[in-house]
Amino acid sequence: MSGRLIESLASTPALAALFSDESVLGAMLEFEIALARAESRNGVIPKQAADAIAAAARRSNFDIPALADAAFRAGTPAIPLVKMLTEQVRTVDADATRFVHWGATSQDVADSAMSLLLKRVEPVLIADLLRLEKALAGLSENHKDSVMLGRTILQPAPPVTFGLKAAGWLASVCRGKRRLQKSFRVAAVLQFGGASGTLASLGERGISVAQALSAELGLGESPAAPWHTRRDELATLICDCGVLTGSLGKMARDISLLMQNEVGEASEPGGEGRGGSSTMPNKRNPTACVLTLAAAHRVPGLVASFLSAMVQEHERGVGGWQAEWPIVAAVVQSTGVAIASMAEAAEGLSVDTQKMRVNVESTNGSIFAERAMLMLGAELGRDVAHKIITAAVKKSTEEGRKLSAVLAEIPEITIHLGPAELNQLETPEQYLGSAEAFREALAAEADREDDDKEQ
């Protein structure tokens, strides 16, 4: 992975490379090359000048540390970039130097370069999301009958199935992916407005140059107008990253809790150098969950920072858009870490159905108190039934006996519930309600996505 050690838990190798200094520089130079070519095709600058600019705009010709230092003084990397590019063009064709960056402004370079990076990021994120969806769909189907404790406020509750839990994760991932894809389409677009966002320097050829430039960069249809201080569509992408990362964080939280030794119902894949401890050989830490939860902690604050930067002044902002590069890079990379980590976890997740059953039975039937109360409520009234069952649960807990056994000793109960009913009271499969119907509905999110594509 390229990048600093301090960021090693905040990106993936693929995303770190996409947001590396070399990649960012390359994207800015791509803009300058495409701008020259688009203007040449529209008769704004000579073709010879466009060729000279393209020949000079090679990453190897630029000193990145010097560019970064100059950007700090200029308030934007675009100004020193254009100066350096102009000097490089001079070595190729001195006459072409006057056409470098013709009609553009600093923010055009910065925003369009970020759009290029985002366009390249999307398939990386989507590929990992598809892995995750496939793994979760398999877990949901394979464990549709795997009964486990429901847990509310971290305490035992009536049973659910692991298939239903996995389907819940799957549905949120599918929804997040759809939102993300839509946001990428509208956010990763050309920025080209010139000084005040009117392209006045290009006269009547401004729109045609913009259209040609957008096509040259492969950014799809040119936006209706420059968006220098209108950041809502990029903000939507950032927010959608935040929502998806939060959904992945919920999945990571669930898995990490299921991995606790005293629970032991699921575990991440292990392997050389993964999940160990520097001092405790017995440890098998939830590494993927750790990385995902770390991302889920970081991203909300970053999203808030981006939203606060939307309040920009008139036609060009003071500090607003200048704040965005590191925020966007951090949000996207954090989202990517969370997606990749959960894909790896889901693909290799071990599910211990036997331990799930043991944990259900360890409650001595107390999780079926609701069922018993409802069965009695029709005969005794809810309040009376609730009082009797509460006392029975307390006695069951204190004596370490099955709830059904305690209930079988209470005359008010045995009058209405026979031995057969009491024997079946603590059968979890008989108290799952609509769990399977809900699981199927949630799992259908992925199928609905496939149907949408076909249409």
**Distance separating alpha carbons of residues 216 and 193, to the nearest angstrom:** 16
Nearest Cα neighbor of 79 from 343, 322, 353 is 322
Q: Which pLDDT does position 222 carry in this prediction?
A: 85
Segments making up each domain of the chain, as ranges? 1-104+197-223, 105-189+227-362, 366-425
Do 189 and 214 meet the contact criterion of CB atoms below 8 Å apart?
Answer: yes
Q: Which pLDDT does position 271 carry in this prediction?
A: 65
Q: Token pair 């401004």 is at which residue? A: 206
Confidence of residue 151 (pLDDT cuts 50, 70, 90): very high
pLDDT of 279 strictly over 80? no
Confidence of residue 449 (pLDDT cuts 50, 70, 90): low
pLDDT of 428 strictly over 60? yes
Identity of the amino acid at 421: E
pLDDT of 150 strictly over 90? yes
Q: Is 376 exposed, middle or buried (0-12, 13-18, 19+ CB in 10 A)?
A: buried
For 98, other C-beta atoms within 10 Å of its C-beta total: 11
Mark out the alpha helices in 143-228 (DSSP H runs): 162-187, 206-217
Nearest Cα neighbor of 368 from 403, 397, 400, 398 is 403
**Distance separating alpha carbons of residues 199 and 225, to the nearest angstrom:** 10
pLDDT of 172 strictly over 80? yes
Q: Is 175 a catalytic residue?
A: no
Domain with residues 366-425, CATH architecture = Orthogonal Bundle (1.10)
Confidence of residue 453 (pLDDT cuts 50, 70, 90): low
SS3 content of the chain, % helix, strand, coil (to 5): 70, 5, 25
For 22, other C-beta atoms within 10 Å of its C-beta total: 13
- The pLDDT tens digits of the residues spanning 16-38 come to 999 999 999 999 999 999 999 99
pLDDT of 281 strictly over 50? no
Grouping H, G, I as helix, E, B as strand and the rest as coil, residue 123 is helix
Q: Which pLDDT does position 278 carry in this prediction?
A: 45
What is the mean pLDDT of the segment spanning 382-390?
92
Q: Which pLDDT does position 250 carry in this prediction?
A: 98
- The pLDDT tens digits of the residues spanning 329-363 come to 999 999 999 999 999 999 999 999 999 999 999 99
For residue 391, report the phi and psi dihedrals to the nearest 5 degrees. Answer: -65, -35
Q: Is 318 exposed, middle or buried (0-12, 13-18, 19+ CB in 10 A)?
A: exposed
Q: Which pLDDT does position 11 carry in this prediction?
A: 95
Query: How many contiguous H segments (helices) and E segments (strands) does the chain have?
Result: 18, 4
- DSSP per-residue string spanning 395-426: HHHHHT--HHHHHTT-HHHHTTS-HHHHHHTT
Confidence of residue 199 (pLDDT cuts 50, 70, 90): very high
**Distance separating alpha carbons of residues 241 and 332, to the nearest angstrom:** 7
Q: Which pLDDT does position 308 carry in this prediction?
A: 98
Confidence of residue 455 (pLDDT cuts 50, 70, 90): very low
CATH number of the domain located at residue range(s) 1-104+197-223 in this protein: 1.10.275.10
Q: Is 59 a catalytic residue?
A: no
- Report the range of poorest mean pLDDT among 99-103, 196-200, 283-287, 377-381: 283-287
Catalytic one of 8, 277, 308, 350: 277
Dig out the tokens for 225 from the structure. Answer: 């107008």
Per DSSP, 45 falls in state: S
Confidence of residue 285 (pLDDT cuts 50, 70, 90): confident
The whole model's pTM is what?
Answer: 0.93
Which of the listed CATH numbers 3.50.50.60, 1.20.200.10, 3.40.50.880, 3.30.56.10 matches domain 105-189+227-362?
1.20.200.10
Q: Token pair 């950041």 is at which residue? A: 231
Q: Which pLDDT does position 454 carry in this prediction?
A: 46
Q: Which pLDDT does position 315 carry in this prediction?
A: 95
pLDDT of 298 strictly over 90? yes
Q: Which pLDDT does position 369 carry in this prediction?
A: 95
Q: Which pLDDT does position 270 carry in this prediction?
A: 77
- The pLDDT tens digits of the residues spanning 128-141 come to 999 999 999 999 99
- The pLDDT tens digits of the residues spanning 93-104 come to 999 999 999 999
Q: Is 310 exposed, middle or buried (0-12, 13-18, 19+ CB in 10 A)?
A: middle
The mean of the pLDDT values for the chain is 94
Catalytic one of 41, 120, 253, 316: 316
For residue 107, report the phi and psi dihedrals to the nearest 5 degrees. Answer: -65, -30
